């Protein structure tokens, strides 16, 4: 049996080592992140132990590294006293089931994880500020064990809140790992609500999502902006305008031109200094129906309201810095034109399930977003590339492989399995 075949077929007699490698944060700052050998966690009666199959680096990982106990999801947890394993976007396979869960789970089941767990902590409450009083959301890779590791303990909180979402074998491990960032995009676009009246005498009805047959503007074509483009296509607008200041990112967005054409969607790429002219031309001066601001720049958020047609909606998807969070709002546009500004951060398990379904049925191609790959020994290099903006896309780490970080394109199930066959431990 090949290494890959053995890896894919997990059974009751799965051999667990005593130790594993993991990316551990032992203090505040980049200098305190290291690849360490740690004990494989013990699995309690109401817990699961899972093998981590793929983990994705996120800019939020570096926010945690820089802020430590001051990060909003750490609630005062001191990483210098109680080091943590980081990483919150990933896919796992169950390898050990607690005694009281054996009627619900079995070794070999594959899951994507919703890392934001909507409940307070069950364990180590004394490590939180005020004994975790008032805490109602915790997260993997923060105060719960993270996914830049060979194995992860799945605690009661994750299981009881439905944050394990199964996925079929036709979805690659990296695709399931990408379901979390994709779910954030899905959740954001479902915040868009249009009030529709077919004629003056008909009742109003609410429709969720970018306006069908309308014009959607996406500002920012970074990794998350690209996801917004592909998800927005599923709502069938007539036009999608993409505004991006960087030429390289505009080129990246061109991968969707053929798909847009096949769906009957006109896709227009522009740069910000030409955006107003493009909007006027493409909408006959009426403005766009929807704006998705996939940038964390307050000025751009403020400007987005001015691009809207009557009844239009703008979504603030990228978070701004705290000191630059205030913007001005033209209340006449709200009152007389009925425009709306909404925001979104994170997602729910149901959004992850939708993302997995869209990947499985081909609506979303996860290979559009992954540009680097490596083994667990490359995880810190990947985090640094994200920190230093040397990666324009997502990077995937396969914790049970060892290899340096390398560039990839059009990654898919076959390429993933070929890589794993050659690099599995």
pLDDT tens for residues 287-311? 999 999 999 999 999 999 999 999 9
pLDDT at res. 98: 97
* 192-343: CATH topology: Rossmann fold (3.40.50)
Give the burial class of 149: count Cβ atoms within 10 A of its Cβ; 0-12 exposed, 13-18 middle, 19 or more buried: buried
Mean pLDDT of 13-21: 96
Render pLDDT for 241-279 as a digit per residue (tens, 0 to 9). Answer: 999 999 999 999 999 999 999 999 999 999 999 999 999
pTM, to two decimals: 0.94
pLDDT at res. 323: 87
pLDDT at res. 201: 95
Render pLDDT for 67-89 as a digit per residue (tens, 0 to 9). Answer: 999 999 999 999 999 999 999 99
318: pLDDT confidence band, cut at 50, 70 and 90? confident
Mean pLDDT of 210-236: 97
- Say yes or no: do domains 3-183+348-423 and 192-343 share a fold: no
Judge whether 363 and 129 are in contact, CB under 8 Å.
no
Residue 46: which residues within 8 A CB-CB, separation 6 or more?
98, 100, 101, 156, 159
220: pLDDT confidence band, cut at 50, 70 and 90? very high
- If one looks up domain 3-183+348-423 in CATH, what number appears? 3.90.180.10
The Cα 401–Cα 259 span in angstroms is 34
Mean pLDDT of 159-176: 96
Taking the alpha carbons at both ends of the chain, their separation in whole angstroms is 15
- Taking the domains of the chain in order of start, what are their residue ranges? 3-183+348-423, 192-343
pLDDT at res. 319: 84
Cross-strand partners of 338: none
Is the pLDDT at 1 greater than 80, yes or no? Answer: no
pLDDT at res. 231: 98
pLDDT at res. 322: 81
């Amino acid at each position: 049996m090949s290494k890959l075949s053995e890896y894919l077929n997990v059974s009751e007699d799965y051999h667990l080592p005593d130790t594993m490698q993991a990316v551990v944060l032992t203090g505040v700052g980049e200098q305190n992140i290291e690849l360490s050998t740690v004990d494989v966690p013990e699995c309690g009666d109401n817990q699961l132990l899972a093998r981590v199959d793929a983990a994705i680096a996120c800019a939020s990982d570096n926010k945690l590294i820089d802020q430590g106990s001051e990060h909003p999801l750490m609630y005062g947890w001191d990483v210098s006293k109680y080091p943590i394993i980081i990483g919150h976007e990933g896919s796992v396979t169950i390898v050990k089931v607690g005694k009281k869960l054996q009627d619900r789970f079995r070794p070999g089941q594959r899951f994507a994880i919703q890392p934001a767990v909507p409940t307070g902590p069950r364990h180590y409450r004394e490590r939180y500020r005020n004994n975790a009083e008032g805490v109602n959301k915790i997260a993997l890779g923060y105060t719960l064990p993270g996914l830049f590791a060979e194995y992860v303990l799945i605690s009661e909180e994750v299981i009881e809140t439905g944050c394990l979402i199964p996925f079929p074998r036709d979805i690659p491990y990296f695709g399931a790992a990408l379901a979390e960032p994709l779910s954030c995009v899905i959740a954001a676009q479902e915040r868009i609500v249009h009030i529709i009246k077919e004629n003056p005498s008909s009742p109003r009805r609410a429709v969720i999502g970018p306006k069908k047959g309308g014009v959607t503007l996406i500002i920012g074509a970074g990794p998350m902006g690209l996801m917004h483009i592909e998800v927005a296509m599923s709502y069938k607008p007539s036009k999608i305008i993409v505004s991006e200041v960087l030429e390289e990112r505009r080129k990246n967005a061109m991968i969707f031109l053929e798909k847009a054409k096949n769906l009957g969607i006109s896709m227009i790429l522009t740069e910000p200094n030409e955006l107003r002219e493009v909007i006027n031309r493409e909408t006959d001066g009426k403005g766009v129906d929807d704006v998705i601001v996939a940038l964390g720049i307050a000025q751009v958020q403020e400007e987005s309201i001015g691009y809207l047609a009557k009844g239009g909606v703008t979504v603030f998807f990228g978070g701004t810095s705290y000191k630059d969070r205030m913007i001005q709002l033209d209340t006449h546009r709200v009152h007389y034109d009925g425009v709306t500004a909404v925001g979104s951060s994170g997602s729910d398990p149901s959004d992850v399930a939708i993302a997995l379904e869209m990947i499985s049925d081909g609506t979303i191609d996860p290979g559009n977003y992954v540009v680097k790959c490596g083994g667990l020994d490359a995880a810190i290099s990947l985090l640094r590339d994200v920190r230093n903006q040397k990666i324009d896309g997502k990077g995937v780490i396969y914790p049970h492989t060892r290899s340096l970080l390398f560039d990839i394109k059009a990654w898919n199930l076959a390429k993933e399995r070929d890589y794993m066959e050659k690099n599995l431990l």
